[in-house]
Amino acid sequence: MGRRIGPLLFAVAAIVLWLSSRATWVTAHVEDELSGAQTLPLNGGFWSLELMGLTLLLLAGSIAGLALRRIGRRIVGIIVALAGAAAAWGPLQLLTTGADPVRAQELLQASEANQNAVDNVSISAWAQVVSVEVSQLGPIFAVIAGAAAVFGGVLLAIQPGVDKPRSHKYETSAAREEALAEDLQNSPDSGRVMWDALDADIDPTDLPSQK
């Protein structure tokens, strides 16, 4: 169960976390002597810069959880569970303790200084953030996404599933004959063993146990 549900939860968590990062988390009220008062919305990706990296990690985990074998899936589950906890920690703190006006001012002024910033929300060096308000919907969805990733990661680590047998394409004819001979010796009347021998283009009457 964990082998399928875990990666599915990772993918869902990645999508929800990305959508959350585009929503407004904090609204900053700014006083500027030159341009006057402003009200600026700060989205989740702006407030918590690590969200995009964690989103990509969850997405990669959903792919790796399907592609890797048993031990690899366990490791992926543990890594994604830790990433989910990290993704939920920031928004959970924001919901419980509120937003820090000093942090809002630092982020906005850093955005003004950074010419390559993706978000164009910024304030001048002399502007002052006078108050901040938390918009709860975005952080709540981020916490839900983190919890889903933690649950899926723990589930995958505990129940990684069973690997399919590796292909016997390169198994030698002698090895196949030896295995079939052992099966015929243990179950001489087994129709399944006979069919396995015929399917492998081996005549059961020519096997060592039948001679």
Express each pLDDT in 78-90 by its tens digit: 999 999 999 999 9
Torsion sign over Cα 141, 142, 143, 147: positive
Domain presence at residue 123: yes
Judge whether 166 lies within some domain: no
| 49 and 82 inside one domain | yes
Return the pLDDT at 68: 85
* Alpha carbon 78 to its chain's center: 10
Residues 6+ apart with CB under 8 A from 37: 29, 30, 31
**114 and 11 share one domain:** yes
Judge if 19 and 110 occupy the same domain.
yes
More confident position, 110 or 1: 110
What would the mean pLDDT of 175-179 be, rounded to a whole number? 64
Query: Could you list the residue range(s) of the whole structural domain that residue 23 is in?
Result: 2-158
Q: How many CB atoms within 10 Å of residue 79?
A: 17
Q: Are residues 109 and 181 in the same domain?
A: no
CATH code for the domain of 116: 1.20.140
Report the range of poorest mean pLDDT among 58-67, 88-97, 198-207. 198-207
Domain count, the chain: 2
Query: 164 in a domain, yes or no?
Result: no
Backbone angles phi, psi at 58, to 5 degrees: -65, -40
Q: Are residues 98 and 138 in the same domain?
A: yes
Residue with more model confidence, 179 or 87: 87
pLDDT at 211: 46
- Nearest CA-CA partner of 18 in 43, 57, 61, 55: 55
Q: Are residues 123 and 202 in the same domain?
A: no
